[in-house]
Amino acid sequence: MDGNGRWAQLRGRPRLFGHHEGAKRVKEIVRACPELGVDYLTVFAFSTENWKRTQTEVAGLMRLFKRYIRKEATNLHEENVRVRFIGDRVRLEPSLVDLMDGLELMTAQNTGTNLTIALNYGGRDEVTRAARRLAHDVKAGNLDPRQINDETFPRYLDTHVLPDPDLVIRTSGEARISNFLLWQSAYSEYEFIDTLWPDFTAKVFAEVLARFGLRERRFGAVKA
| pLDDT tens digit sequence for 28-48 | 999 999 999 999 999 999 999
Which pLDDT does position 63 carry in this prediction? 96
Which pLDDT does position 224 carry in this prediction? 61
158 has pLDDT over 90: yes
51 has pLDDT over 90: yes
Lowest mean pLDDT among 90-94, 160-164, 217-221: 217-221
User: What's the rounded mean pLDDT across residues 92-116?
Assistant: 98
How distant is the alpha carbon of residue 47 from its chain centre?
10
> Are 118 and 86 a contacting pair, CB within 8 Å?
yes
Which pLDDT does position 219 carry in this prediction? 72
Which pLDDT does position 45 carry in this prediction? 96
Which pLDDT does position 217 carry in this prediction? 75
Residues with catalytic function = 2, 50
152 contacts: CB under 8 Å, gap ≥ 6: 134, 143
Which pLDDT does position 156 carry in this prediction? 98
Number of C-beta neighbours around residue 172 at 10 A: 20
User: What's the rounded mean pLDDT across residues 82-97?
Assistant: 97
Which pLDDT does position 216 carry in this prediction? 83
Which pLDDT does position 186 carry in this prediction? 95
Mean of per-residue pLDDT scores for the chain: 96
